[in-house]
Structures are given as structure tokens and as C-alpha cells.
Amino acid sequence: MKENNQLEKATFAGGCFWCMVKPFDELPGIHGIVSGYTGGNVEDPSYEQVKTGTTGHYEAVEITFDPAIFPYQQLLDLYWPQIDPTDEGGQFFDRGSQYRTAIFYHNEEQKELALASKQKLEDSSKFRQAIVTEIVPASVFYAAEEVHQDFYKKNPDKYKQERIESGRDAFIKENWSKQGS
């Protein structure tokens, strides 16, 4: 392993950002995960602004990772099974443009890998509906308020309840736990 590896960023929107941290957290090569907002037209937005759906921002997570330990492809392989890639109106019971899914690429290699992973999912016929997850260039990422950081650790009961009540866990079990996908 090289000692002077450069850390990279990966940015994913998958609905409620509370639910997008834990799957990536505490894995080898993951150096940090920040919940926040990206893709919109309001500078330094607040949660209150973003939740109205009028800022153009997505709720997203920005992951700092070491690609020599945890390659970007592995992040993609972990990302897709966290979402419903066919829902363009939000995710589960979180509705609105701020809850859409997207992969925000930071360089050409990420773009190519993301597009290939989306194509592979489309070709798999896993879903009858079209895969609508966007693959777009990364833009300014604004960290969400501290109350939203590491939510699953700070509020484990509410986090678990959110995942169950939203329908996310049931969807994942039904659609992503099947072998051969």
C-alpha cells in the first residue's frame, strides 16, 4: 500500500440523509461522512429551507475515503442497495425533490464507474420501472446542522423507527436481499 495515498470525496443522495450514513460508516478506508445539502441554488441553506423543496438541494452525504483501501466501486456497490432507484418523487415516505436519489461524481473516473454501475443495474432487469437515479457533477456541498450529523448514533431509537416507518427497510429486504442481483 502506498503511504501517500490521496483521500477522495464521494457524494450520494438517497433520500433522508440520516439513513445514508450508517451503511458507509466505520468501514475500513472511510475517513468521514458528513450529512448535508448539494445541487441547489441557495448558498449555505438551512434544514428548514431545504425541507421546503424550493432550494433545489438534495439531502446528501459526502464521504471522505481512501480509494486504495475502499475503492469507489465498492461505495457504488454499497450505495445502490440503500435506495429505490426507480422513485423520482423522493424516497419512501420522504417526498419531494430534496429526497431524490443522485450520484454526484467528483472526477471522470467516478463518472464512468457510476454510469457503468447504473447501466449494470438497468441491464439486470431487477426492477420493472426505469432507473431514475441521476448521475451529475458534484457541486458545492454544505454541511447540515450538527443535530443531523451521526444521527443514527445520537438517536438510535428514532433512527430505527424512521427506517421501519418509512418503508426503507422493508423495501431493501424485498428488493435487494435477493440473490443474483
Q: Are 115 and 107 in contact (CB under 8 A)?
A: no
Q: Is 125 left (phi over 0), alpha (psi -120 to 50) or beta?
A: left
| Cβ atoms within 10 Å of 177's Cβ, excluding its own | 9
| Residues belonging to the chain | 181
Q: Grid coordinates in use for 148?
A: 443531523
Q: Dihedral, CA atoms, 19, 22, 23, 24, nearest 10 degrees? A: 120
Contact 164, 158 (CB under 8 A): no
Active site residues: 16
Give the other-Cβ count within 10 Å of 144's Cβ.
21
Report yes or no: 137 and 104 within 8 Å, Cβ to Cβ: yes
C-alpha 161 chain-centroid distance: 19
- Beta strand 101-105 with 8-14 is antiparallel
